[in-house]
Structure 1
Amino acid sequence: MKALELQSQLLLRRVGEQRPLAECAAALCELLRGCPPVRAAWYLAWQPASGSYIPVCGGRLPPAADDPLTLSDQPLHTLLQRQTRLSLAELRQVPCWLAGRLRRAGVEQGLAVSLSLLPGQPGLLLLHVGEGSDPALELALALLRSLLANAVGQPSSPPWLDADPQPALLLDGAAEPLGHNSAWQWLLGGQPAERVLPVNHVQLVRACLAQRRAIEGVEASAGERILLWSYVPEPAAGRVLARCRDASAEVRAGREAARARRLYRLITENTTDLISRHTLDGRFLDASPASWTLLGYWPEQLRGTPARALFHPQDLSQLVERARSALEQDGYHTMTYRVRHRDGHFLWFETACRAIRETYTGQVVEVVAVSRDITARVQAEENRRRLAEVVEVNTDLVMFVDAEGRLTYLNPAARRALGVVGEQLPALEALLGAEDLRRLRGEGREGAEQRGVWSGEARLQPQGDGPSLPVSLVLLAHRPTSGERYYSLVARDMTERELREAQQRRHQDELAHTARLVTLGELASGIAHEINQPLAAVVNYAGASQRYLQSLDSNPQAAERIAQGLARITEQANHASEVIRRLRAFLRKGQRRMQALDVAQVAREAVRLCAWEAAQAQVTVDERMDDNLPPAYADPVLLEQVLLNLLRNAIDANRERHAGAASHIVLSTALQPGELCVRVEDQGPGADAERLAQMFTPFFTSKPDGLGLGLSMSRSIVEGFGGALEARPGAQGGLCLECRLPLRDNHNETGNRP
């Protein structure tokens, strides 16, 4: 024992004096060979140039059987930077040149310890020992490392520090290092210690010693690794042991778990769906805050409440049992039902339930449910169903048209009216004429896009050779949530309206004919005067001609006078014939003939018809009409009757106010945009606002013997022409009746539309 102590002192002195490596290595090997379990000892120096360990003392090792050019000791050197000691059995598994040399030497049991005898000169100590491990040898090696560390100027560490598998650092009160283990060197990996220590490392050491307690769980980052440091004080020696462990996976997992919990809490607290937990019989265990928004209850109010207490009575009978059976068998169930809000009204809910089972028995212990309010969706589906039923039973023709103009749907009424059988739908071009199709695709689509709806009139051609249908079209533009535009075309059959309009026109014609017959009685004296005048003239001219015939031989001018008399007779006869012709045309009953006509000429004919009546009432008709008026579009006979009614009303008004005195009526024309105005202005008593409002009402009259149909029938006739008939106070204090007729060009623009 004394010899070992002397050898140890000799070794430490040589190392401290930094004697040559061979002397230090020889003293080390001599010291270790004196230990009972050690059979042989070698010390090898690391040669960076060749990448191999070269024996310094202890004898030579045989060369390996492998090619020295293909193998080196660099893998072993790298491994020893992380682990300061290896068993020889572990070393023999390292792919290096030294492992092969040990195999050739037959050295199987022992230790390889990384040991530096001189500063900056790494070395390797090989010990060949017998079977079994000797604790005394382990303690001696640890003590030897500590002594050598002090000898070469490195901080010493306790013998047990190197046996700690975790990186550890022994610090004094000022946080200066006193020693470290081999795992600490592996942790540094060539980087400064400040990179792996906590940022408040010095403060932690001081607090640990001052408070005389360990500080644990201090987190520090070392590159991509996360280290957890523990500071353990040794107050008696004024030292602190700082240990760390790699907790990267643990900390990251904890962070992910915390993030997941935080995310779950955020989702649970902010989702609009109701997330709840229940017992198998439906009793609330917990609920998310959405319960207040959806049901009007806070989660605390729902805990312990059976869910069936909120169900609609009609849904309660089979809902609970069905859900319980499905959860026990399948573990999952989705249901739609009505639930009562706290205010008393019912909402539609859709709930997805999942069963949570006991791990070993598989029995359902609770149910997790996610519920959402689908009231708006249910109501929308119900509205769509009702709308579909309305479209199916609607008597109007309903057609759906896509953005390309193809028919995609016809309701039953449209199929019947258009004669469509089977699934094949006709093209829109086969149902509409070219002009109607052009209007529909032009102004129709533009109007529907801008205002949402467009209406017009057209004719639809059914399949086959059937007659076309007059329809009133309504085009609606739709844009669903998918964004694809489509249109609905609603057509109403206007055949009955056409029949009624034709019937009404025939009835108007009959009324007009009746009115003309009534007028005939009133104009009888005037007609007789019109005919008697030319007849009397004919008689006079005939008598004069006979007298000239008797004096033909004695009077040289007699032949000329006879010719003049015969010409006058012919003229008066033609005049009488024209009066009878106009009378017959006025009284004739027939279909309405719309044509372009000269309004001034028709007005003058009406003046001639009532000329005798005007003369009897001392009324003068002042004609202020242009001769170059553009043609208007109307029926000449009916327009003549309208103007005759207006003139006769004006004559009666003047007679009422100026009985026995002379008066006049102004008949004038005026042009306005798209129409021609004919005005009849009298000097009668006029009419107040109430009479103006009722003047065109059937059977309303101010004449004692009047029927009250003249102005009403006249307005109907003018409106049938596409014009208007209105009354207003006149400039002369009487009444002004204005008849507005469409011009021929304007009528062609509007009248050709179906």
Structure 2
Amino acid sequence: MAGKKEHTGKTLLMIACMILIGAAATVRTPAHAALSAWEDHSMEVMFIALLFLIAGGVIAYLMMNIRMRRRVERKLRNSELNYRTVADFTYDWEYWVGSDGTLRYTSPSCERVTGYRREEFLADPGLRERIVVPEDREIWDAHRREKPEGYDLRFIEFRIRRKDGEVRWIEHTCVPVRDDAGGFMGYRASNRDITDRKAAQDHLDMYREHLERLVRERTAELEAEIDSRRQKEEELDLYRRDLERLVRERTAELEDEITRRKSAQDALAVSEANLRRAQDVAVIGGWNLDLKSGELTWTDGVYRIFGLPPGTRLDYESFLASVHPDDLEYVNKSWSDALKGAPYDIEHRIVVNGAVKWVREKAEVEFDDNGVPLKGSGIVQDITRRKQAQEQQYILRQQLAQVSRVATAGELTAALAHEINQPLAAILANAQAALHILDGKAPDLAELHEILDDIINDNKRAREVISRVRSLLRKEPSKPEEVDINSVIHDAIRLMKQGSDFTGVSVRTELADGLEPVMADRIQVGQVVINLFANAFEAVSELSEPPRNIVVTTRMDVEGEVIVSVEDTGKGIDEGSLRRIFEPFYTTKETGLGLGLSISRSIIEAHGGRLSAFRNPDRGSTFSFSLPAKNKADVV
């Protein structure tokens, strides 16, 4: 705008000069004027006056234009001076680009931001573009291509490469500069180094992603745990309904056991209700430990779990003070291992106001590039009610196993009574014979000795039968010990043969020599063998013609487990029953409870093994279970 006004002024000045020159050329001398006619003289005077009037107007306009231009230039110089005075002392890099694209001013802080002195920028107009990294050049070029009429203020971010080679992030703020008439005079720009802010933002984004991942993982774990508990609740509800029906149908011999079992069910139902309420208000909290300062911070949820007022100052030692003394070494070692890179996911007890609680802790440790731990963060969950529910389930399984043993003994009672009567009758007959010999004049002592030996042997035989039944009925806590599985099988077969008629049934054993012992409760494992053997015997007894065979085998597999199999040649199990055979209260017998195989599987799984069933290729079925050998159990 200023250039256009300057051109117009020059044109007007030239016109005024030409008018003055023309006027001077037409003016005559006084001597010549005296000789001219009056009319010619008057016309010339009027023309000359008009020319001087026009020239005076032009000169007045030019003078006014020059004064206005000087005032604008003086105001611009004052504005630029003020801008430089402020910009010279700013922390950010400021510069001014003229309307023709030349760099008119740059602040000294350009050297702090870019490493280049302002003399270098003023001497090299292309330096501002070359320091922009190639990856961000398009951002810079697009900004430069924008017309000043298109915006009043613009913000962009890009990276530059300093003189020393370091790459820094720049926040560029640009505003067009205009005069009072709105004419474009260039750009003023402010450049701020935001590298540290970018790094902090990246760190915050990474930490947010880390926390979101922890929340997702914990949410998945809680959902899986809720599904598992819901399934157990459904199974327990099934137990309750069917057992209530069975209590009404059971004989007087089992009424006491069923009454105790019903009480246990009621207690378990109360525990389940408490557990559901605990799920609704699951107590979970988070914590962070600064390993450099030792400062430990808890959320309010963790304070509630540990029974401490929120805001209590904490460190790792004060946390250990709440850990149960019996778990202190385990917790401390687990955390020490986590500081070396091991996973930290443990369950332990704490003491809160004299009461014992169970908690689960899961955490991750952050390391620097040299593997030095910096800080730890994790979550704490109160699992006390879950532990109590697990204990109630264990008690219920023990009671169910006792009920099954009593039922098995009841089924064998009549036959066992007959088996005991045989040695008792022999003892009576031998005693009467001995009395008869003693009544004689010359008793045969050798014969009396043989009779007494027979009495002793018959007594041992009766006592052995009674001992086996007592072992089956004994209600004691599970006592794992080294057990020879072949010996358990021999005892079980001997007991079954004493209590059942095996006429027409072939029982064969193929027991591996040198089997390693298993760590198990001998009575409970014997109960499983008796149950499988009794089922096999019933299966082959239903056949009207041979073969009626039962084969019991033992072996050691490559994984260090002892395998026991009971195979029969009965009619077998159909596919539908095979899928449900281990469900509680499912039975294919008219008088069966449907508990034997379900309890047997619970016993085997509690010992770390597996129980399975399948149809034989030709006929019959095979039931097989595995137990870890002692050496493998010790490792686990």
Counterpart of 1:717 in structure 2 is 603
The aligned length equals: 429
- Describe the superposition over 1:507-541 as per-residue Cα deviations: whole angstroms up to 9, x where unpaired: 11221122223223321222222222222222222
Q: Does 1:412 align with 2:276?
A: no
The residue type equivalent to 2:479 in the other structure is R
CA distance, structure 2, for counterparts of residue 407 and residue 743 of structure 1: 47
Q: Say whether residues 1:694 and 2:580 are aligned partners.
A: yes
Instruction: Give 1:601 shift.
Output: 2.6
In structure 2, the residue matched to 1:115 is none
Q: Identify the residue that residue 396 of structure 1 maps to in structure 2.
A: 284
Structure-to-structure mapping, 1:511-590, within 5 angstroms: 511-551=400-440, 553-555=441-443, 557=444, 559-590=445-476
User: Separation in 2 of the partners of 1:701 and 1:671?
Assistant: 31
Task: State the Cα deviation string for residues 439-492 of structure 1 (Å, max 9, x = none).
Answer: 5534x55665xxxxx365442444776536353x43434458999744434444
- 1:676 has 2:501 as partner: no
Three-state SS of the structure 2 residue aligned to 1:725 is strand
When the two structures are superposed, what TM-score results if normalisation uses the length of structure 1?
0.48
In structure 1, the partner of 2:315 is: 425
Tell me how far apart the structure 2 counterparts of residues 732 and 407 of structure 1 sit (CA, whole Å). Answer: 71
Shift of 1:727: 2.3
On the 8 A contact 1:273/1:370 being kept in 2, the answer is: no
Q: Which residue, out of 538, 543, 549, partners 1:664?
A: 549
Decide whether aligned partners of structure 1 residues 666 and 470 sit closer, same or farther in structure 2, where only a CA change above 3 A counts. Answer: farther
Instruction: Quote the residue 2:394 is aligned against.
Output: 505
Q: CA deviation at 1:335?
A: 13
Structure 1 pair 353/379, CA: closer, same or farther in 2 (3 Å)?
Answer: same
Distance (Å, rounded) in 2 between the aligned partners of 1:736 and 1:273: 77
Aligned to 1:265: 129
User: Would the aligned equivalents of 2:554 and 2:564 in 1 still touch at CA under 8 Å?
Assistant: yes
Q: Structure 1: how far apart are the matches of 2:626 and 2:429?
A: 46
Contact 2:540 2:570 in 1 (8 A): yes
Q: Give the CA deviation at 1:606.
A: 1.7
Whichever residue aligns with residue 567 of structure 2, its letter is: E
- Following superposition, the deviation at residue 716 of structure 1 comes to 0.8
Paired position in structure 2 for 1:625: 511
Amino acid at match of 2:288: F
Q: Larger deviation: 717-726 or 680-689? A: 680-689
Is 1:434 the counterpart of 2:323 in the alignment? no
Distance 2:618 2:148 in 1: 91
RMSD of aligned residue pairs (Cα, Å)? 4.7
Deviations along 1:242-277, one digit per CA (max 9) or x if unpaired, are xxxxxxxxxxx99945764212234579674998xx
Equivalent residue number for residue 17 of structure 2: none
**Cα distance change, pair 687–394 in 1 and its aligned pair in 2 (3 A):** closer
Equivalents in 2 of 1:534, 1:702: separation in Å?
37
- Cα deviation 1:154-193 (Å, max 9, x = unaligned): xxxxxxxxxxxxxxxxxxxxxxxxxxxxxxxxxxxxxxxx
CA deviation after TM superposition for structure 1 residue 610, in Å: 1.3
Match of 1:474 among 362, 365, 386: 362
The answer (yes or no) to whether the contact 2:362–2:379 under 8 Å persists in 1 is yes
Rate the CA distance shift 1:359–1:518 in 2: closer, same or farther, 3 A. Answer: same
Residue 744 (structure 1) aligned with residue 630 (structure 2):
yes
Alpha-carbon distance between aligned partners in 2 of 1:700 and 1:534, rounded to the nearest angstrom: 39
CA–CA separation in structure 2 for the residues paired with 1:385 and 1:743: 43
Tell me the percent identity: 25
- Structure 2 distance, partners of 1:335, 1:265, is 14
**Matching residue of 1:68:** none
In structure 1, the partner of 2:274 is none
What secondary structure is seen at the aligned counterpart in 2 of 1:539? helix
1:599 aligns with 2:485: yes
* Alpha-carbon separation, structure 2, partners of 1:394 and 1:273: 54
Q: Please tell me whether the aligned partners of residues 509 and 590 of structure 1 are also in contact (alpha carbons under 8 angstroms).
A: no
Matched residue type, 1:423: R
Letter of the aligned partner of 1:575 in structure 2?
Answer: R
Distance 1:397 1:667, change over 3 A: farther
What's the secondary structure of 1:684's corresponding residue? coil
How big is each residue's C-alpha offset from its partner over 1:397-436, in whole Å with a ceiling of 9 and x where there is no partner? Answer: 5443556795643333333334556213233765453345
The one-letter code sitting in structure 1 at the alignment partner of 2:313 is: E
Partner of 1:640: 526
Matched letter for residue 398 of structure 2: D
| Contact 1:617/1:651 (<8 A) preserved | no
Q: How far apart, CA to CA, are the structure 2 residues paired with 1:456 and 1:586?
A: 41
Q: Distance in 2 between matches of 1:270 and 1:628?
A: 77
Q: Decide whether the 8 Å contact of 2:412 with 2:500 is kept in 1.
A: no
- CA shift, 1:597, in A, is 2.6
Cα distance change, pair 660–542 in 1 and its aligned pair in 2 (3 A): farther
Q: Does 1:651 align with 2:537?
A: yes
Question: Residues of 2 paired with 1:713 and 1:705: CA distance?
Answer: 17
Q: Distance in 2 between matches of 1:605 and 1:734?
A: 24
> Unaligned stretches of 5+ in structure 2?
1-116, 158-169, 219-280
Higher normalized strand content (fraction of residues): 1
Instruction: Give the conservation status (yes or no) of the 8 Å contact 2:284–2:380.
Output: yes
Report how far residue 670 of structure 1 moved: 1.7
Q: CA deviation at 1:550?
A: 2.6
Distance 1:389-1:590 versus aligned 2 partners, 3 A rule: closer
State the partner residue of 2:226. none
What is the Cα deviation at residue 644 of structure 1?
0.8
- d(CA) in 2 for partners of 1:719, 1:504: 14
Q: In the alignment, which residue of structure 1 is the partner of 2:69?
A: none
Seen in structure 2, the aligned counterparts of structure 1 residues 689 and 273 have a Cα distance that, compared at 3 Å, is farther
Q: Tell me the amino acid that sits aligned with residue 300 of structure 2.
A: P
Structure 2 counterpart of 1:263, which letter?
L
For residues 134 and 358 of structure 2, the distance between their equivalents in structure 1, rounded to whole angstroms, comes to 60
Shift of 1:668: 2.4
Q: Is the 8 A contact 1:354 1:367 kept in 2?
A: yes
Aligned equivalents of 2:364, 2:122: Cα separation in 1: 55
Q: Contact (CA 8 Å) 2:481, 2:520: kept in 1 or not?
A: yes
Amino acid at match of 1:414: V
Contact kept in structure 2, 1:398 and 1:411, CA below 8 Å: yes
Return the alpha-carbon distance in structure 2 between the equivalents of residues 532 and 405 of structure 1.
Answer: 81
Q: Which residue pairs with 1:15 in the alignment?
A: none
Hey, what's the Cα distance between the residues in 1 that align with 2:118 and 2:345?
Answer: 72
Indicate the structure whose relative CO is greater, using CA pairs within 8 Å and at least 6 residues apart. 2
Q: Which runs of 4+ in 1 moved over 6 A?
A: 333-336, 354-361, 364-367, 369-379, 388-391, 480-484
Amino acid at match of 1:261: P
CA–CA distance in 2 between the matches of 1:689 and 1:440?
Answer: 50
CA change 1:727–1:403 in 2 (3 A) is farther
